[in-house]
Amino acid sequence: PSGPVTQHPEATDVIDQELMIFLGQAKNFHHKAKVLSVQGRNDEAIASVRQILSLPYPADAPEADDVRLDARARLAKLLLAKAEETKDAGKLQEAMNIVNEGLAPKQQRESFFVANLYTVKGEVHEAFAVKHAADKEDAKAKAELHAAIDAYDRSIKINLALQKRLMEGR
């Protein structure tokens, strides 16, 4: 038979296109947040990064998970900076909630982005320690410093495992 042949996109082509759109949007929101931060418009930068977390993303795309983890880390750091600037403990707690939500899945694959989120968690614990020390709550400050070390150790452990896998693959 002759004549035009209609080709239908394969499922992987649709997923790849969906993933590329998601990645492009996330990249743009990160760039926008960077520009806003430089201008001192931190609330708008925070809002821009939050938009990444509300983007529809393709299921079963590990890259999408990485982008969302990265956005959570950036959002928590922006909230941490806002907390330090305004002395708002609520922003500290919000930063910790953002991190903990990212670390909540039980079947999470180990990645640089998970390790980075643990690093940010350590930074938030350190900020809580400073707040508690300023409030003369030494036991709470000490507990937060211990939690910070635990978070940093978890990040180090993940990165060491990733390095080992990379070395074995060579």
For the stretch 24-71, pLDDT in tens is 999 999 999 999 999 999 999 999 999 999 998 887 788 888 999 999
In this predicted structure, the answer to whether residue 2 has a pLDDT above a threshold of 80 is: no
For the stretch 80-134, pLDDT in tens is 999 999 989 999 999 999 999 999 977 678 899 999 999 999 999 999 999 999 9
pTM score, whole prediction: 0.86
60 φ, ψ (degrees, to nearest 5): 60, 30
Q: Which residues contact 93 (CB under 8 A, 6 or more apart)?
A: none
d(Cα 40, Cα 62) in Å, to the nearest integer? Answer: 33
